[in-house]
């Protein structure tokens, strides 16, 4: 996923108004084996406003070997979110022989749908017009994070016959123009024997969906199973592998999702991006608007607090840093379960050669971390990020400004577990949720019940 970074932020009120702190009694025997004899410790807590603004993690592209997405949803909160998908296709078997005089009788896609997202229950069963286009390029695995689909990348004459209307059922049949199939009948022997050569010769397919009517809210995001979706081309041909054979009907099968599906999305919610502290912050799933923690504001807040307290930043040890994101119960309480994010955790951009990926902070794997889980009884999200706050505290301001790893978007995350083949152990991996279109809201910095971060710290001093 390639995402653009944004660095500016409106400084919040002075640090003195952003924090409370308290000191607690010290038991010097606790953990004394881990502390040098040259130090004595002062322990305390401090609570700060969490400096949030709203920012877009835009230009997001999600590649998926299992699922493709197409659809459009418009809401009052976020405006229009539009989802499209590009994928390669190739014959399911090699060594095809179309004989002579082959012609296409019927060509269609049978798409297996595995789920959808709607803006509200009134949108169940709505009709959507689906379009399929041939592309001028194939979906290139070696260029996977630098090939956002442009208008020039596909032929704007759809290849599906008439209007393909989808109502949210478990499957969808899309009938294609026979002329598309006639072109495939011209494939060379090399192309029919090699998936790579076929894909490069016949490019990819591009799936889109009409948005809701202008001014109307609603819509649906559709999720289709790549590995269960095929194209079927019924042809009649003259066999050539033996003389005297009659013409024959057969069906040629093509697999979609060769390599993966390239899912892309665009959002009108980018107009909600703001440096000004808000009373409420709406959070849109996938690549939509997100809360953003500006590390320089957090750094300045921590430095100002340390200075006021007379602490040396280099001698502050942070053992815990819990962020809390309060939210208010909406009028329709069921939306919290149906549409709100279930986990919200700070994610940052990690560079890999020329590409950027979003990952949760490494703190997500710390012991007893609630990983930003929603607390439905107390109406907040909470998680820990102690090591990241520690690094920001000790780093020079210039380093914090220059390092992308310190720029944090609060994003929905998902957990996946895997077991070892050789033992009974298992492991959990947390990733940015790039496939679920969620719609949530938390309190902003201007709210009386504002987001905050609470640290537990120790000051190391010379004896």
Model confidence over 370-426: pLDDT tens digits? 999 999 999 999 999 999 999 999 999 999 999 888 999 999 999 988 876 676 777
Q: What is the pLDDT of residues 79-137, one digit of tens each?
A: 999 999 999 999 999 889 898 999 999 999 999 999 899 988 889 899 999 999 999 99
Q: Distance between CA 286 and CA 359 in Å, rounded?
A: 13
Task: Give φ, ψ of 131 to 5 degrees.
Answer: -125, 140
State residue 40's pLDDT score: 60
List 173's β-bridge partners, or say none: 110
State residue 37's pLDDT score: 54
Q: Distance between CA 343 and CA 193 in Å, rounded?
A: 47
List 284's β-bridge partners, or say none: 439
State residue 54's pLDDT score: 97
Inform me whether the pLDDT recorded for 27 exceeds 50: no
- Which of 241, 209, 302, 199 has the alpha carbon at shortest distance from 99? 241
**Is the Cβ–Cβ distance between 9 and 364 less than 8 Å?**
no
Pick the range with the lowest mean pLDDT from 142-146, 233-237, 243-247, 366-370.
142-146
Q: Distance between CA 10 and CA 52 in Å, rounded?
A: 10
Share of the chain above pLDDT 70, in %: 87
**Is the Cβ–Cβ distance between 54 and 246 less than 8 Å?**
no
Query: What number of other Cβ atoms are within 10 A of residue 121's Cβ?
Result: 9
Q: Distance between CA 72 and CA 212 in Å, rounded?
A: 7
Alpha helix (H) ranges present in 25-145?
A: none
Mean pLDDT taken over the chain:
87
DSSP track, 128-147: EEEEEEEBSS---GGGTTS-
Question: What are the CB-based long-range contacts (under 8 Å, 24+) for 243-252?
Answer: 247/101, 248/99, 249/105, 252/91, 252/96
- Which of 130, 18, 14, 12 has the alpha carbon at shortest distance from 69? 130
Cα 204 to Cα 1, 11, 153, 256, 405: the distances in Å are 20, 47, 10, 9, 35
Across 290-299, average pLDDT: 96
- The helix (H) or strand (E) run that includes residue 219 is strand 218-225
Q: What is the pTM of this model?
A: 0.85
Q: Distance between CA 238 and CA 236 in Å, rounded?
A: 7
State residue 25's pLDDT score: 36
Burial tier of 243 (Cβ tally within 10 Å: 0-12, 13-18, 19+) = exposed
Provide the pLDDT confidence category of residue 241 given band limits of 50, 70 and 90. confident
List 282's β-bridge partners, or say none: 441
CB crowding 424-462: b at 16 or more within 10 Å, else e: eeeeeebbbbbbbbbbbbbbbbebeebbbbbbbbbbbee
State residue 325's pLDDT score: 98
State residue 58's pLDDT score: 58
| Two tokens, residue 416 | 């996946």
Q: What is the pLDDT of residues 127-182, one digit of tens each?
A: 999 999 999 999 876 655 445 788 999 999 999 999 899 999 999 999 999 999 99
Inform me whether the pLDDT recorded for 21 exceeds 50: no
From first CA to last CA, the distance across the chain in angstroms is 51
The whole-angstrom distance between residue 21's C-alpha and the CA centroid of its chain comes to: 36
Across 6-18, average pLDDT: 31
- Which of 115, 130, 126 has the alpha carbon at shortest distance from 225? 115
| Two tokens, residue 49 | 């406003």
Across 339-355, average pLDDT: 85
Provide the pLDDT confidence category of residue 337 given band limits of 50, 70 and 90. very high
């Amino acid at each position: 996923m390639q995402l653009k970074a944004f660095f500016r932020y409106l400084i919040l009120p002075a640090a003195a108004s952003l924090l409370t702190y308290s000191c607690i009694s010290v038991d010097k025997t606790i953990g004394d084996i881990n502390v040098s004899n040259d130090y004595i410790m002062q322990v305390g807590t401090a609570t700060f406003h969490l400096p949030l603004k709203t920012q877009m993690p835009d230009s997001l592209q999600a590649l998926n070997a299992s699922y493709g997405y197409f659809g459009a949803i418009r809401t009052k909160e976020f405006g229009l979110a539009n989802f499209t998908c590009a994928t390669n296709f190739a014959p399911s078997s090699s060594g095809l022989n179309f004989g002579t005089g082959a012609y296409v009788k019927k060509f269609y896609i049978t798409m297996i749908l595995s789920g959808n997202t709607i803006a509200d229950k009134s949108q169940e069963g709505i009709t959507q017009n689906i379009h399929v286009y041939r592309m001028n390029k194939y979906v290139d695995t070696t260029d996977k994070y630098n090939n956002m689909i442009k208008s020039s990348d596909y032929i704007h004459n759809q290849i599906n016959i008439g209007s393909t209307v989808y109502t949210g059922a478990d499957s969808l049949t899309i009938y294609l123009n026979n002329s598309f199939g006639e072109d495939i009948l011209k494939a060379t022997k090399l192309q029919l024997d090699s998936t790579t050569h076929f894909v490069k010769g016949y490019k990819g397919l591009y799936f889109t969906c009409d948005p809701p009517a202008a001014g109307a809210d609603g819509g649906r995001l559709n999720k289709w199973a790549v590995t269960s979706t095929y194209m079927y081309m019924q042809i009649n041909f003259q066999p050539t592998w033996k003389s005297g054979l009659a013409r024959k009907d057969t069906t040629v099968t093509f697999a979609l999702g060769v390599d993966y599906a390239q899912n892309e999305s665009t959002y009108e919610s980018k107009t909600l991006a703001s440096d000004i502290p808000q009373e409420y912050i709406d959070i849109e799933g996938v690549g939509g608007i997100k809360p953003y923690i500006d590390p320089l504001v957090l750094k300045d807040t921590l430095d100002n607090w340390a200075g006021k307290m007379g602490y040396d930043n280099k001698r502050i040890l942070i053992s815990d840093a819990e962020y809390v994101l309060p939210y208010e119960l909406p009028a329709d309480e069921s939306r919290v379960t149906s549409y709100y994010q279930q986990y919200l955790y700070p994610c940052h951009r990690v560079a890999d050669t020329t590409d950027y990926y979003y990952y949760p902070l490494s703190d997500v794997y710390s012991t007893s971390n609630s990983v930003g889980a929603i607390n439905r009884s107390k109406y907040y999200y909470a998680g820990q990020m102690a090591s990241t706050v520690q690094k920001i505290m000790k780093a020079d301001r210039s380093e914090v400004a220059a390092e992308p790893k310190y720029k944090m978007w609060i994003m929905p995350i998902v957990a996946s577990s895997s077991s070892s083949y050789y033992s009974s152990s298992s492991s959990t991996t947390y990733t940015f949720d790039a496939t679920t279109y969620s719609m949530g809201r938390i309190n902003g910095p201007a709210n009386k019940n504002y987001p905050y971060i609470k640290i537990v710290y120790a000051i190391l001093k010379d004896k």
